Amino acid sequence: MQAESLEILEKASFAPAQARAIVRAIEIELVGAPETLATKNDLAILGVDLRGEMTALRAELAKQGSELRAEVYGATRQMYMALLAQAAVLLASFCFVVLLLR
């Protein structure tokens, strides 16, 4: 038991028996805490892991972005080619009609 903890609780008007019980309860909780509480080292390791995962995710998103741009470019190119072909068919039809009406 921490003597300082007992002194603090006794100065706060807790009876000595209550102060000891509170300190003991806290100690019991702290014994089981390593599985539930994270240390600064645990958080540092987690931070490194998260940074690695974010870097991998960033690379994957960049790759998918490149693939998506290529797909959009291909679809846009097809659309413009179809428009050009349609314009050519319309122009040829117009010329045909004009030549027939002469």
Query: Is 19's pLDDT higher than 90?
Result: no
Token pair in block for residue 24: 């003991």
Query: Is 11's pLDDT higher than 90?
Result: no
Portion of the chain with pLDDT greater than 90, in percent: 59
Determine whether 14 is exposed, middle or buried from the number of CB atoms within 10 Å of its CB (0-12, 13-18, 19+). middle
Average pLDDT, the chain: 89
Residue 81 CA to its chain's centroid (Å): 39
Specify the 3-state DSSP secondary structure of 19. Answer: helix
pLDDT digits (tens, 9 = 90+) for 57-75: 999 999 999 999 999 999 9
Indicate the pTM of the whole model.
0.45
Token pair in block for residue 53: 């995962």
13: region left, alpha or beta (phi > 0 left; psi from -120 to 50 alpha) = left
